[in-house]
A and B are shown apart, each in its own frame.
Chain A
Amino acid sequence: MDIDKVFKALADPTRRRLLDLLHRQNGQTLSALCEHMDMTRQGVTQHLQLLEEANLVAVVWQGREKLHYLNPVPLHEIYERWIGKFERSRLGALRDLKKRLEGDDDDKA
């Protein structure tokens, strides 16, 4: 899988927003996703296509419904590549601290 595609797909705020929506609720249809997006159905379709090509979104057909799933496997590969085993617990502690101090919310862009 081409890692450039993953970073290109993530470089766009609309596509990150789509991933956030799937993170909150996995397995959504195009129509359900469009309800939260301020753009045409066609625009959302194109963004989803790029996410699918980057393997960040996986698609499952259920009858006539096309369901979109967040596929975190490429993100896990990026994480494995640059984050050492011994850094993980310290990074986790830092993240928890930041979250507590800032009242962070996962969906924040």
Chain B
Amino acid sequence: MTKPSFVYVTYIATTPEKVWQAFVDTDVMRQYWVGPNAECARVNVSDWKPGSRWEHQRVDPSRAVDIVGKVVESIPPRRLVYTWARPSDAEDESKHSRVAIDIEPQGDGLVRLTVTHEDLERDPQMLAGISGGWPKVLSNLKTLLETGRPLPRSPSAT
């Protein structure tokens, strides 16, 4: 393992199964995973089997793909690992960074969710975008799972 670039942790009052579902089920994802300017939702599409490709798609008519990668590990409902790259670098795995999602039950109905992103240092632009993006994704997910409501989203929000 290389040294992680970022480690994000949140505690959510829910079950590991629900957190897992939130990372693999596009119907759940579209309720909390928004783009950098909250202009539209994003979903990660894959069959989530090791070796499969995944795509980070916009939920709008364009269905544009901003990020792609390959599933490395998939152990429901505990651990999901995938690589992360620009679509133009899809074939060049030396340019992929790596995301690990770890879901650990803590007792008392609490789940510790850790997102670790490795190998981002050589891509400062991606690093800057992602370091701001993950905290938002995790706190939106926490709100959704604990209250059952997605965050209020305004069509004109900036």
Count A-B contacts at CB 8 Å.
57
Interface residues of B toward A: which range? 20 to 34
From A69, A80, A86, contact of B6 by CB (8 A): A69
Nearest CB in chain B: distance from A58 CB, A: 4
Q: Given A76-B135, A76-B139, decide whether A71 and B157 contact each other with a Cβ distance below 8 A.
A: no
Whether the Cβ atoms of B9 and A77 lie closer than 8 Å is no
Whether the Cβ atoms of B116 and A60 lie closer than 8 Å is yes
Whether the Cβ atoms of B9 and A60 lie closer than 8 Å is no
B21 within 8 A of A: no
Whether the Cβ atoms of B135 and A85 lie closer than 8 Å is no
Nearest CB in chain A: distance from B126 CB, A: 15
B94 within 8 A of A: no
Whether the Cβ atoms of A1 and B136 lie closer than 8 Å is no
State the CA gap A88–B38 with chains docked (Å): 12
Question: What per-residue 1/0 map shows which CB atoms of B98-131 lie under 8 Å from chain A?
Answer: 0000000000000000101000000000000000
For A1, list chain B residues within 8 Å (CB). Answer: 10-11
Of the candidates B3, B5, B114, B143, the one having the most CB atoms from chain A within 10 angstroms of its own CB is B3
A31 within 8 A of B: no
Whether the Cβ atoms of A58 and B135 lie closer than 8 Å is no
B62 within 8 A of A: no
**Which residue on A lies nearest to B135, using beta carbons?**
A76
Cβ < 8 Å to A, chain B residues 129-146: 135-136, 138-139, 142-143
Whether the Cβ atoms of A85 and B157 lie closer than 8 Å is yes
Of the candidates A27, A71, A74, A75, the one having the most CB atoms from chain B within 10 angstroms of its own CB is A71
Given contact pairs A58-B9, A74-B10, enumerate 7 new A-B contacts (beta carbons under 8 Å): A58-B114, A69-B4, A71-B7, A73-B9, A73-B138, A80-B139, A85-B154
Q: List 10 A-B contacts (CB under 8 A).
A: A58-B7, A60-B4, A67-B3, A69-B4, A69-B7, A73-B138, A73-B139, A77-B139, A80-B139, A89-B158
